[in-house]
Amino acid sequence: MTADGNAPHADKGTPHEIVRELFSRFGESPFVLQNTVDRVPTLWVDQSRLGEVLRYLKNTISRPFKMLYDLTAVDERLRKNRFGLPAADFTVVYQLLSIERNADIRLKVALTGDYPSLPSIVGIYQNANWYEREVWDLFGITFNGHPNLQRIMLPRTWQGHPLRKEYPARATEFDPFALTVAKQDMEQEALRFNPEEWGMKRGTAEEDFMFLNLGPNHPSAHGAFRLVLQLDGEEIVDCVPDIGYHHRGAEKMGERQSWHTFIPYTDRIDYLGGVMNNLPYILAVEKLAGIEVPDRVKTIRIMLCEFFRITSHLLYYGTYCQDVGAMSPVFFMFVDRQKAYDVIEAITGFRMHPAWFRIGGVAHDLPQGWDRLVRDFVEYLPKRLDEYQKAALENSILKMRSRGVAKYNTADALEWGVTGPGLRATGSDFDLRKARPYSGYENFDFEVPTATGGDVYDRCVVRVEEMRQSIRIIKQCLENMPAGPYKADHPLTCPPPKERTLQDIETLITHFLGVSWGPVMPAGESSQMIEATKGINSYHLISDGSTMSYRTHIRTPSFAHLQQIPSVIKGAMIPDLIAYIASIDFVMADVDR
């Protein structure tokens, strides 16, 4: 059976290869096929068959789906435009990724009832653990058989599940926050770590383990991140990462802001990525709207994204060196970041969070003289990178400190949902800019740097090489910047091109509605993945034909990367952990959203 989950203009084409394979294995009856704007094969399946289907996709099928890319839920209770989808109060969405096929599949499970439950899939995909905890925390959906279904984003003392539609979004809808002495004591008590809860022993017959709290504020934790270490001397027996100290409710925010006014919130997800965060959101919205942007827009977007890849990687480079013990490189790299910010600021008017991309274009055309600034920068940076190569990367102390530390291979990476440089340091060359070019990356000449060691050092080497490739891309943007408009000529472009505004009463009204209420996006489901600074970042949007999103889900790479920590670091020393954390390259806003 096929349900049309989308507005009529959605592509209905032939079913994907993977759908045919599933139909031939299980028959068509357990599935409902949904058409989506993003053309990701989407199948609804009953929860009783879910485990079987997932096991088949992961283990039995040829060219298997080894990675659980994402797991989330949707509160369907208020959704109006369902176009014949199976009846559901809540939906749990599983998205799998196969590198060998370079393809995705999305499975959806319909649930009924106010607080429904379904079987956990931690036994099939290990990294479902945190995702299921998150869904429980934010939706109140129970996963039977989960090893430790605890709150993950919100404090343990929290009441309610915020992403449910009946839960208020604003803090100002609640009583004003006050920290009383009693509350402080209660919260501190709730933060106390209880090893038994995590299946840990307090000691062996011979010795007691020491439990060390690293964070939530620690100079090497790169933000509000807590790790509880179970130590035997200085050796890490096990550890439990504790996140949620940076949960800004960005997904709930998406249901409150108009399509246009949500853009600034995307900047602050991976706050080192700047406008790179706008890109997946904007591209997903443009798919919903059916907007095709001019070449100039694509090229401007790519150029700025690569600038932010450089600033993010430079910060990584500096803090990485610092965390493994080299104090001075970070000072040089921050000076380079300033140079990059000078260019970014001249073009966009802001440093870290320009929120400069628009639905159907960019906010402003490139200013006169931009090419000189960009040229100066691309000529300046490679020489500096060469110096750092000698001073930092080829430094024998740094090498000895970081080679062979915190190693994992490609199979482990896929098992834990690791993407980006962390995956490419294990030998895989999966880079979305090459594998699934978006926004015009197919027109650029660049290489995908890889390494084979999969250790702390190689993760840094890959990023350094990526900066050189980014410079190559920026140079090509500089030399081949297409002429033309910086906004698409489309009714849903927001804000509309100037010549479509203030001409007569019709254009005046359309413009007024567009900027006050925001554009109305056709109902449907859309998503876009991009190769962000830290790995694969994607937005999954559900429009219910309104001025706001019905559900905005943000898949961030850092969330997956932190979940992997215990599996990599068991048996290592504490300083190795610090080096490992430095090599992951995460920011907490990218973890907790």
Residue 587 touches other proteins, criterion: CB under 8 A? yes
- By rule CB under 8 A, what string of x and - marks binding of each residue 270-309 to other proteins? -xx-------------------------------------
> CA-CA-CA-CA torsion for 77, 78, 83, 89, nearest 10 degrees?
0
Residue 193 touches other proteins, criterion: CB under 8 A? no
The conformation of residue 184, written as its DSSP 8-state character, comes to H
Structure tokens at 102: 């370079």
Residues contacting residue 534 through CB under 8 Å, at least 6 positions apart: 270, 273, 312, 420, 421, 556, 557, 558, 561, 585, 586, 587, 590
The conformation of residue 59, written as its DSSP 8-state character, comes to I
Q: Which of 20, 25, 165, 183 binds other proteins (CB under 8 A)?
A: 183
- The residue count for the chain: 593
Residue 244 touches other proteins, criterion: CB under 8 A? yes
> First and final CA of the chain: distance in angstroms?
36
Residue 14 touches other proteins, criterion: CB under 8 A? no
Structure tokens at 301: 């977007």
Contact by Cβ (8 Å): 427, 451: yes
Residue 177 touches other proteins, criterion: CB under 8 A? yes
Per CB under 8 A, which region of 300-308, 331-339, 508-516, 545-553 contacts other proteins? 331-339
CA-nearest of 589, 439, 546, 494 to 261 is 494
214 versus 568: smaller Cβ distance to other proteins: 214
Q: Which of 181, 205, 327, 505 binds other proteins (CB under 8 A)?
A: 181
282 versus 588: smaller Cβ distance to other proteins: 588
Residue 454's identity, in one-letter code, is G
Strands 357-358 and 536-543: unpaired
| Residue 555 burial (10 A CB sphere; 0-12, 13-18, 19+) | buried
Q: How far is the CB of 524 from other proteins (least distance, A)?
A: 26
Residue 154 touches other proteins, criterion: CB under 8 A? yes
Residues 338-357 that bind other proteins (CB under 8 A): 338, 346-347, 349, 351-353
Contact by Cβ (8 Å): 541, 525: yes
Structure tokens at 47: 């929860």
Dist. CA 138–CA 199, nearest whole Å: 24
185 versus 442: smaller Cβ distance to other proteins: 185
42 versus 311: smaller Cβ distance to other proteins: 311
Residue 557 touches other proteins, criterion: CB under 8 A? no
Per CB under 8 A, which region of 7-15, 152-160, 499-507, 566-574 contacts other proteins? 152-160
Any bridge partners for residue 531, and if so which? 536
Residue 468 touches other proteins, criterion: CB under 8 A? no
Dist. CA 50–CA 45, nearest whole Å: 6
CA-nearest of 534, 559, 589 to 246 is 589
Per CB under 8 A, which region of 76-84, 458-466, 538-546, 582-590 contacts other proteins? 582-590
Q: Which of 24, 27, 87, 178 binds other proteins (CB under 8 A)?
A: 178
Residue 227 touches other proteins, criterion: CB under 8 A? no
Q: How far is the CB of 88 from other proteins (least distance, A)?
A: 25
Task: Give the total of residues touching other proteins (CB under 8 A).
Answer: 65
Contacts to other proteins by CB under 8 A:
153-155, 162, 167-172, 174, 176-184, 187-188, 191, 216-217, 219, 223-224, 244-249, 252-253, 264-265, 268, 271-272, 315, 330-331, 334-335, 337-338, 346-347, 349, 351-353, 364-365, 367-370, 372-373, 587-589
